Chains A and B, each alone.
Chain A
Amino acid sequence: GAGVSQSPSNKVTEKGKDVELRCDPISGHTALYWYRQSLGQGLEFLIYFQGNSAPDKSGLPSDRFSAERTGGSVSTLTIQRTQQEDSAVYLCASSLGGALQTDTQYFGPGTRLTVL
């Protein structure tokens, strides 16, 4: 079946602009995660959605970052007033969301964001 999809695959923007990154999880997966992969910080957790529960936003690096998940499916990560340090690959992952710990997360191909 279809895996996790993300769009756009590449995004180049100017410093100070807002960007929106989209994630379509695997159908039926109730858990959705955003991670960021950058040269300086490696792979780091950003935010987690599980069903109708309040999201875990503990990994968001600043209040310029926000995310929402509509209808328990598609998610959008928004970065306002982008800075050069926001340049990274943004990865989305989804999982069934059942038993914790044993659940496998499946990753999308990522969106490469470049802030000039």
Chain B
Amino acid sequence: GNSVTQMEGPVTLSEEAFLTINCTYTATGYPSLFWYVQYPGEGLQLLLKATKADDKGSNKGFEATYRKETTSFHLEKGSVQVSDSAVYFCALSDWEHTDKLIFGTGTRLQVFP
């Protein structure tokens, strides 16, 4: 079945460091891919998405490119801030089953000044 695998955390970085959080997926067909973020004490928010191969989603300095050949959707940011500290979830939409989201396990990012 469809699944999402993302790197385990926590990822600990200093402010202004480069961030990569790896995400790979297994899916039939052509799912849409998402990154959601959960800030401390808050709900899940959509960070970015890509709906087809080679699409790049971007928001708030974060980027991820839908790579069909490597079945990946890695999240990157060139210079992280303390305010980026949160849990990041990679997800795909399971179009074969009512478009429900299938999530990875989440990666906690901690950024220190």
Contacts and interface: CB of A to CB of B under 8 A. Distances in A.
Interface of A: 31, 33, 35, 42-45, 48, 50, 56, 58-59, 91, 93, 95, 100-110
B108 interface: no
B105 A42 contact: yes
Nearest to A92: B43
Contact of A100 (B36, B93, B102): B93
Interface of B: 30-32, 34, 36, 42-46, 49, 51, 89, 91, 93, 95, 97-106
Given A93-B44, A101-B32, A101-B95, 16 more contacts: A33-B100, A42-B106, A43-B103, A43-B106, A44-B103, A45-B101, A45-B102, A48-B98, A93-B101, A100-B99, A101-B51, A101-B99, A103-B99, A104-B34, A105-B46, A109-B43
A50 B44 CA distance: 21
Contacts of A110: 43
Most chain B CB inside 10 Å of its own CB: which residue of A35, A45, A108: A45
Nearest to A109: B43
B100 A56 contact: yes
Contact of A109 (B32, B42, B103): B42
Contacts of B95: 100-101
A81 B46 CA distance: 34
A31 B95 CA distance: 14
B64 to A, nearest CB: 15
A42 B97 CA distance: 19
A100 B43 CA distance: 23
Given A42-B106, A106-B46, A50 B51 contact: no
Contacts of A59: 100
A68 to B, nearest CB: 17
Contact of A31 (B89, B99, B106): B99
A45 B98 CA distance: 11
Contacts of A44: 103
A106 B46 CA distance: 7
Contact of A45 (B32, B36, B44, B100): B100
